[in-house]
Amino acid sequence: MADRPLPASNSLAEEEALHTKLNGIFTSTTHPSPVCYSIEIAAKDDFDLRQLERLTPQPVFISLPWILDENLRYADDFIRSPMLQLSSQLRKSHYTVVNHVSCYNITEQQVDALLSTGIRNLFVIRGDTVSPEQKFQNASGLVQYLRKQEQQQTDNHHRQLTIGVGGYPYGHHQSHSETDELRYLREKIGNGADFLLTQTLYDAQSFLRYRDRCREAGISIPIIPGIYIPHSYRHLQVMLKLTRIELAPMVQTAFEAHADDAPEQFEAFMVQYFVKVVRELLESNVTSSSSDPIKLVHFFTFNKFGLLQQVLQKLEHFFK
């Protein structure tokens, strides 16, 4: 396999900035805490770097999804994959990048090849599809392998990797109970996860209850709420089917009432709706007696930067 490094801008010191950034954000004692945000974008033809650069304020990090088999088609030279090509472009523009890596059909040798490209910030997912023959059957096993490889390459005083994993406020469709789900989550974290990023949220209270359950279970790593702003009713239905989230009846009714809106009307409603959700999340930092404020919000953008900017502008007193 080709082991060509990424460009010089992808230095180890720069990659480790994510771990430093997260520590700075989540250990800040400022009250009320200023809030930062991160985003997920897609390596698609509609990505426009200029639109990203116009976002105000700028994101703390940018994550890039792993799209089923697409990256494995480039396993002989991961540098050629669209995800790695976009990663390189973003790093040249001084963005901190988090690359997703899926358990689906990936081998130990391919994980090693991926690491050899210089990637240091990872978001580990099991993937929507699981093959009985694949090496890593779950995210916990892949996190464990990544930490093992890290330990073999460095001493105990030098952390190379920053690793995130997913959380499910609405429950994972394959979990038998909340107890089982939290047990699996503790296993992922015990194997070396640094932060937890939730699936797409459609209300604030589901996140707050989930965070409380995690804390009661002894999970202490940062928990980041994930927000998706649908740009069409059709895309919303696709996402709900993909994530297997069942909306609360009141939320479902509210969304259905706008199913036949013109595109601009639907987008305006969704901006209004999710501004309310994010505001409720962030107001809990002040109104709640919790010592666990939300300091970072993640937005799944699908490259719709205009919608995100509208949300940020309406909540500009929260975001620094």
Report pLDDT for 273.
98
Task: Return the closest-CA partner of residue 221 out of 161, 164, 291, 171.
Answer: 164
Of 64-78, 109-123, 288-302, the one with minimum mean pLDDT is 64-78
Helix (H, G, I), strand (E, B) or coil at 101: strand
Task: Return the closest-CA partner of residue 66 out of 106, 8, 22, 25.
Answer: 106
Question: Are 309 and 59 within 8 A, CB to CB?
Answer: no
pTM over 0.85? The answer is yes
Backbone angles phi, psi at 223, to 5 degrees: -115, 120
Q: Provide, rounded to the nearest whole percent, the portion of the chain with pLDDT above 70.
A: 87
Angle of CA points 59, 119, 77, to nearest 5°: 125
Helix (H, G, I), strand (E, B) or coil at 173: coil
Stretch 233-247: mean pLDDT, rounded? 92
Q: Across the chain, where does the E strand assignment appear? A: 36-40, 62-64, 97-102, 121-125, 162-167, 195-201, 223-228, 296-300
Stretch 89-116: mean pLDDT, rounded? 90
Task: Return the closest-CA partner of residue 207 out of 108, 265, 274, 140.
Answer: 274
The Cβ of residue 14 has, within 10 Å, a number of other Cβ atoms equal to 17
**Is it true that the peptide bond before 32 is cis, omega within 30 degrees of 0?**
yes
Higher-confidence residue of 244 and 135: namely 244
Report pLDDT for 289.
53
Model confidence over 147-204: pLDDT tens digits? 998 888 765 555 689 999 999 999 876 666 788 889 889 999 999 999 999 999 999 9
Q: Across 56-96, where does the E strand assignment appear? A: 62-64
Model confidence over 68-86: pLDDT tens digits? 556 677 777 778 888 889 9
Average pLDDT of the chain, as a whole number: 86
Report pLDDT for 29.
77
Q: Is pLDDT at 310 greater than 90 in this prediction?
A: yes
Model confidence over 116-144: pLDDT tens digits? 888 899 999 876 666 777 778 788 999 99
Q: Is pLDDT at 2 greater than 50 in this prediction?
A: no
Of 109-123, 200-214, 217-231, the one with minimum mean pLDDT is 109-123
Model confidence over 261-280: pLDDT tens digits? 999 999 999 999 999 999 99
Question: Are 284 and 25 within 8 A, CB to CB?
Answer: no
Domains of the chain (ranges; CATH) run: 34-315 (3.20.20.220)
Q: Per the structure block, which two tokens stand in for 117?
A: 């490209």
**Is it true that the peptide bond before 263 is cis, omega within 30 degrees of 0?**
no
Q: Is pLDDT at 316 greater than 60 in this prediction?
A: yes
Q: Is pLDDT at 13 greater than 50 in this prediction?
A: no
Helix (H, G, I), strand (E, B) or coil at 86: helix
DSSP string, 203-259: -HHHHHHHHHHHHHTT--S-EEEEEE--SSHHHHHHHHHHHT----HHHHHHHHTTT
How far apart CA 107 and CA 3 sit, in angstroms, is: 16
Q: How many residues are given for the chain?
A: 320
